[in-house]
Amino acid sequence: MDRFYITTPIYYVNDKPHIGHAYTTILADVLARYHRLLGVPVHFLTGTDEHGQKVWEAARKAGVSPQEQCDRMVVRFQRLWERLGITHDDFIRTTEPRHTEVVQEILADLHERGEIYRDEYEGWYSVSEERFYTEKELVDGRSPEGKPVEKIRESNWFFRMSRHQQWLVDWIESHPEFIQPEQRRNETLGFLRQPLGDLCISRPKARMPWGIELPFDRDYVCYVWFDALVNYISAIGYRRDEETFRRWWPADMHLIGKDILTTHTVYWPTMLHAMGLEPPRTIFAHGWWLSGGAKMSKSEGNVTDPMEMADRHGVDALRYYLMADMTLGQDAVFTEEAFALRYNADLANDLGNLASRVLRLVERHCDGRVPAPDDAGSGAAEAALREAVAGAVVEMEQRLQAMQLDRGLAAVIGAVRETNRYVDQCAPWSLARSGETARLGTVLYHALEALRIVSGLLHPVMPGRMAELRRALGLAEDEVEPHLDRLRTWGGLEAGRPAAAPPSLFPRIDRRRTAAAGAARGTAKPAGAAKKGGKPAAGTISFRDFSRFVLRTARVLEAARVEGADRLLRLVVDLGDERRQLVAGIAAAYAPEDLVGRTIVVVANLEPATIRGVRSEGMLLAAQHGDTLSVITVAGDVPPGTPVS
Q: What angle do CA 151, 155, 160 make, to 5 degrees?
A: 100
Cα R_g (the chain), whole angstroms: 29
Among 21, 33, 99, 319, binds ligand MSP (CB under 6 A): 21
387: number of CA atoms within 13 Å, CB side? 6
Q: Tell me whether strands 150-159 and 116-126 are parallel, antiparallel or unpaired.
A: antiparallel
Among 4, 5, 6, 10, binds ligand MSP (CB under 6 A): 10
Contact letters for ligand MSP, residues 419-458 (x by CB under 6 A): ----------------------------------------
Q: Bridge-partner residues for 556, per DSSP?
A: 573
In this complex, which beta carbon is closest to ligand MSP, that of residue 92 or of residue 110?
A: 92
595 lies in the site for ligand MSP, by CB under 6 A: no
Residues in contact with ligand MSP, counted by CB under 6 A, come to a total of 21
Distance CA 224, CA 615 (A): 60
Distance CA 433, CA 444 (A): 14
69 lies in the site for ligand MSP, by CB under 6 A: no
77 lies in the site for ligand MSP, by CB under 6 A: no
**Shortest Cβ 597–ligand MSP spacing (Å):** 41
229 lies in the site for ligand MSP, by CB under 6 A: yes
Residue 145 backbone zone (phi > 0: left; psi -120 to 50: alpha; other: beta)? alpha
**Shortest Cβ 191–ligand MSP spacing (Å):** 17
Are residues 192 and 266 in contact, defined by beta-carbon separation less than 8 angstroms? yes
23 lies in the site for ligand MSP, by CB under 6 A: yes
Piece of the chain touching ligand MSP by CB under 6 A; list 10-18, 355-363, 413-421, 583-591? 10-18
Element (H, E) at 551: strand 551-562
E-strand spans in 127-214? 131-133, 150-159, 179-180, 199-200, 202-204, 213-214
Element (H, E) at 568: strand 565-574
289 lies in the site for ligand MSP, by CB under 6 A: yes
Among 5, 11, 124, 133, binds ligand MSP (CB under 6 A): 11
297 lies in the site for ligand MSP, by CB under 6 A: yes
228 lies in the site for ligand MSP, by CB under 6 A: yes
By the 10 Å C-beta count (0-12 exposed, 13-18 middle, 19+ buried), 61 is classed as exposed
Piece of the chain touching ligand MSP by CB under 6 A; list 176-184, 290-298, 565-573, 591-599? 290-298
12 lies in the site for ligand MSP, by CB under 6 A: yes
**Shortest Cβ 254–ligand MSP spacing (Å):** 8
In this complex, which beta carbon is closest to ligand MSP, that of residue 18 or of residue 446?
A: 18
User: N- to C-terminal Cα distance for the chain?
Assistant: 43
Are residues 51 and 210 in contact, defined by beta-carbon separation less than 8 angstroms? yes
20 lies in the site for ligand MSP, by CB under 6 A: yes
For ligand MSP, the nearest residue by Cβ is 20
Q: What angle do CA 606, 609, 611 make, to 5 degrees?
A: 135
Piece of the chain touching ligand MSP by CB under 6 A; list 159-167, 228-236, 438-446, 479-487? 228-236
Residue 64 backbone zone (phi > 0: left; psi -120 to 50: alpha; other: beta)? beta
In this complex, which beta carbon is closest to ligand MSP, that of residue 262 or of residue 642?
A: 262
In this complex, which beta carbon is closest to ligand MSP, that of residue 58 or of residue 310?
A: 58
Q: What are phi and psi of 88, to 5 degrees?
A: -70, 150
Footprint of ligand MSP on 240-269 (CB under 6 A): 256-257, 259-260
**Shortest Cβ 445–ligand MSP spacing (Å):** 43
88 lies in the site for ligand MSP, by CB under 6 A: no
506 lies in the site for ligand MSP, by CB under 6 A: no
Among 295, 399, 452, 580, binds ligand MSP (CB under 6 A): 295
Footprint of ligand MSP on 192-211 (CB under 6 A): none
Distance CA 390, CA 388 (A): 6
Angle at which helices 437-458 and 380-401 cross, to 10° = 0
Query: Please, what sign has the CA dihedral across residues 526, 531, 535, 536?
Result: negative
**Shortest Cβ 230–ligand MSP spacing (Å):** 8
In this complex, which beta carbon is closest to ligand MSP, that of residue 10 or of residue 440?
A: 10
Among 4, 6, 9, 422, binds ligand MSP (CB under 6 A): 9
**Shortest Cβ 48–ligand MSP spacing (Å):** 8
Are residues 54 and 94 in contact, defined by beta-carbon separation less than 8 angstroms? no
Which of 497, 502, 365, 499 is CA-nearest to residue 443? 365
**Shortest Cβ 18–ligand MSP spacing (Å):** 7
Piece of the chain touching ligand MSP by CB under 6 A; list 139-147, 295-303, 352-360, 434-442? 295-303
Are residues 48 and 224 in contact, defined by beta-carbon separation less than 8 angstroms? no
296 lies in the site for ligand MSP, by CB under 6 A: yes
Piece of the chain touching ligand MSP by CB under 6 A; list 239-247, 291-299, 374-382, 561-569? 291-299
Residue/partner pairs of 189-192 with CB below 8 Å, 24 or more apart: 191/262, 191/266, 192/165, 192/168, 192/266
288 lies in the site for ligand MSP, by CB under 6 A: yes
**Shortest Cβ 373–ligand MSP spacing (Å):** 46
Q: Which residues bind ligand MSP (CB under 6 A)?
A: 9-12, 20-21, 23-24, 49, 228-229, 231, 256-257, 259-260, 288-289, 295-297
